[in-house]
Amino acid sequence: MVIHLRKAKIFLINGFILTITTLLMRGIGMVFNIYISNKVGTEAIGTFSLIMSIYTFAITIATSGIGIACTYIVSEQFAKKDYITGINATKTCIWFSILLSIASAFIIFLIAPIVSVHFLKATVSSTPIYIIGLGLPFIAISSVINGYFTSVGKSYKGAISQSVEMFVKIIATLILLHFNISKGIEYICISLILGDVISEAFSFSLNLLFYFIDIRKYINKRSTSFEMKRKILSISFPIAITSYIKSGLSSLKQFLIPIRLEMSGLAYSMAVSQYGLINGMVLPVLLFANVFFASFSSLLVPEFSRLLASKYYKRMKDVCNKIFKAASIFCICVSGIFFFFANELSLTIYQSLEAAPMIKLLAPLVFFMYVDNIIDNILKGINEQTNVMFCNILDLGVTIAIIYFVVPYLGISGYILSIFVSELLNFTVSILQLKSKIKYYINPFKFIIFPLIACFISYIITCIIPFNISSILIETVFKISIFVLIYVVIVQLKIRFLHNLRERF
């Protein structure tokens, strides 16, 4: 019992540190992205988002699941108090990541002209895509080191490097844009990508310094055994293969969207603008609040790895029940905020109502997006990474089919349909996969129906209260704060009522 409490305390402390840091960084990042979006326009943001889909594909090849393998093996070895083996496994993962990042950069060099001409319609040259290759070694090695820090309960070190990365990125990007923003979309994209590469280099340097300081007490001359190398590859290889397919399909999906929207009758520049509006402006806003759970959910990978290794199956079930209860109450509240206050949020963030209809339309998906992220991390923790990837591949295959066949006829409505199908399909398959491994229980009334009722009551009461504030920002903050306060009070009263009822009977 004492061990469980201690581990829970460490888990909560690490999660709290990660959440506060990530919230701060995500908040700063969101403000910065809003500033950039308002400054460069939706077409430039759309083009940049398309290039970033190639960046994501390159990162997938460069990392190839090695970071996850590092997290899993180090968690396992440190649980057995075999620290030397864990450190040696980390070193081997770093060497693998270096080789893979070089291979990924070479692939990017080969495909850059094809992407520029055939997928970006020559709106930009190959140069922005070439720059992507510069940052891949930094990202790949950092992913392994962050996996190590997560495993040993020192996530705060990764959080520090991420903070430095964010500030360097902002400064570098602002300086580069100052000289290049008037030169057109290509130079805007070069500035944004180069700013990201520079920040990754700084983050990598700090990560490496922290890593060397941390492993000093474990340093020895023993190399990793062939058996350990085989284990690393056995974990990472299935993840890598499915990740390549997933990332490749994801990149294909992103490039197909403006091309198929163009076939619906829109000009290519307008299609890219619509794509930029949804992917570069609306979705980042909807995903912002996920920071509250993303940090804790990332810690579920090593946590469930330890529980599985120790065969604490009942505790795994109990943890799942508690997580889903908290997640449901939180996520439904956030969905309500986006749905009821879409106009206010759009005016506050982008100084226009352009994004409001899309924010309101996609708000119900927030619940499924956030909870699905938690489920995926639990599945990774119980060594079901391959199933997670297969689920994502299935989702991408169905979504691409909708984009290819439906979007040319329905236009932007077809694209919205593909987003709904994607999120709902992914969530359904993931939750069924987890249910087959861990026999948790979800009470529909407690977890879903009651929070929805609480949301509607909170909004009705908020509407009754008069607000006569000249500043749209202050008024929006007040409205949302009162909405959340009423929601929390209703939920707490219900929890106390049920608790008293149980004690009485």
Domains of the chain: which residue ranges? Answer: 2-442
pLDDT at 344: 93
Residue 387 φ then ψ, to 5°: -65, -35
**Close Cβ partners of 164 (under 8 Å, ≥ 6 residues apart):** 202, 203, 206
Half-sphere exposure of 186 (CA within 13 A, CB side): 13
Query: Which among 324, 385, 313, 373 is positioned nearest to 70, based on CA atoms?
Result: 385
Most confident of 1-5, 30-34, 385-389, 454-458: 454-458
Residue type, 228: M
- What's the DSSP call for residue 395? H
d(CA 170, CA 182) in angstroms, rounded, equals 19
pLDDT at 294: 66
Most confident of 225-229, 448-452, 494-498: 448-452
Average pLDDT, the chain: 84
Q: What is the mean pLDDT of residues 412-430?
A: 94
Query: Does the pLDDT at position 206 exceed 60?
Result: yes
The 3-state secondary structure of 8-42 reads: HHHHHHHHHHHHHHHHHHHHHHHHHHHHHHHHHCH
pLDDT at 445: 77
Lowest pLDDT segment from 196-205, 223-232, 238-247, 350-359: 223-232
DSSP for 400-468? Answer: HHHHHHTHHHHTHHHHHHHHHHHHHHHHHHHHHHHHHHS-----HIIIIIHHHHHHHHHHHHHHHS---
DSSP H or E run through 209: helix 185-214
Strands (E), 37-152: none
pLDDT digits (tens, 9 = 90+) for 456-474: 999 999 999 887 777 888 8
Half-sphere exposure of 53 (CA within 13 A, CB side): 25
d(CA 462, CA 88) in angstroms, rounded, equals 57
